[in-house]
Amino acid sequence: MLFEPVRIRSLQLTNRIVMAPMTRSRAIERNIPNALMAEYYAQRASAGLIITEAVSPSPNGLGYPRIPGLFTAEHVRGWSLITDAVHARGGKILIQLMHTGRVAHVANLPADAEILGPVDGVCPGEMYTDALGLQPFSPARAMSEQDIAQAVDEFAQSAGLAIEAGFDGVELHAANGYLIEQFLNPNVNQRTDGYGGGIEGRNRFALEVTCAVAGAIGADKVGIRLSPYGVFNGTGAFDDVDAQSLALCAELSALGLLYLHLLDHSAMGTPPVPEELKAQLRSRFDGPFILAGGFDRVTAEAAISEHRADLIAFGRPFLANPDLVERMRAGAELNAPDMSTFYTPDAKGYTDYPALGA
């Protein structure tokens, strides 16, 4: 079943294999996508669906070095190179919109940008900067309700630009400790107003962003990625994580979204998302369901045949194997990824991995 065509809402896909979103840091000039990035994505167009690396809808969300943006005409032109290249090879491609929020350093941001988060404070840990090397995260300012409204609007405007740039839809990144999950997670979100204080308040920002984006481009072009039990960027599990996730799922389901994308980080050593919660989210979301996290061909096929998911997302295997679909279909050996080149600025470890027969 993994290699069979499937239709999800408005999209006809050639197979059930999804290229997961993965930061690659190749937008070297003013966070503008470029021809090298177009080559990278085109190489992987045999995936049933490509979800791009995380892309900021705002200058304030460019917390990492060289991550791409989508909020200017230059960005639209750059992304159009990529969507054209993928579509020319018969692929489908969504853009993942991610605001880094407090996961940022001022050296990575444009001069007029500001680091914002649900509350005042500093994300624990360090981050790389091109100018200064490894640095502690910079302090974030707590967002006012006006700031929140502006961020919601930025997501919606960026989604509109995504359609202008030729994307087949967008995925909202509500995982891995970035801005949307910063509001979802009470280990970060200590607000006591209408955007915190309990399940309904913590879910509010995610739902407002999703509704605004769906209103801008149509709900059947909007997916969302969640990672309950994730620990990245100072998040981590909390007492009512299951109840909150299920409440959020119910609200998202009612919108008629393109899909729900659930990420389990346990293959990287973090606590697993309980199988019971995965099953409950699967059953309560009325629409296509994607699972991600440590799958290979055998486990992916099992998840689909057992109706635990409609599609399976693969991350690092796609970094090193532009022809991953063909390799898995043939049972061929996979190239090993070179971690030292994951976030470097050039073609090495990006577009130079060999295809079968090369």
Integer Cα distance of 200 and 353 in angstroms:
46
Tokens 């009470």 correspond to what residue? 186
Total H helices, total E strands in the chain: 10, 14
> CA 272, 93, 155 angle in degrees (round to 5)?
75
Contacts of 29 (CB under 8 A, 6+ apart): none
Structure-block tokens of residue 18: 């999804």
- Is 195 annotated as catalytic? no
Distance, in Å, from the CA atom of 75 to the CA atom of 100, rounded to the nearest integer, reads 18
What number of other Cβ atoms are within 10 A of residue 3's Cβ? 15
Contacts of residue 299, Cβ cutoff 8 Å, sequence gap at least 6: none
Residue 304 vs residues 3, 15, 73, 301: alpha-carbon distances, Å: 11, 12, 40, 5
Please provide the DSSP assignment of 187-249 as one string: TT----STTSSSHHHHHHHHHHHHHHHHHHH-GGGEEEEE-TT--GGG----TTHHHHHHHHH
Two tokens at 214?
């769906």
Task: Express the helix, strand and coil content of the chain in percent, nearest 5 each.
Answer: 35, 15, 45
**Angle, in degrees to the nearest 10, between helices 73-88 and 145-164:** 40
> Quick one: CA dihedral 313, 316, 319, 324, positive or negative?
negative
DSSP secondary structure of 278-325: HHHHHHHS-S-EEEESS--HHHHHHHHHTTS-SEEEE-HHHHH-TTHH
Contact 255, 166 (CB under 8 A): no
251 half-sphere exposure, CB direction, 13 A CA radius: 17
Q: Looking at 178, 195, 229, 353, which residue is catalytic?
A: 178
Q: Which residues are catalytically annotated? A: 178
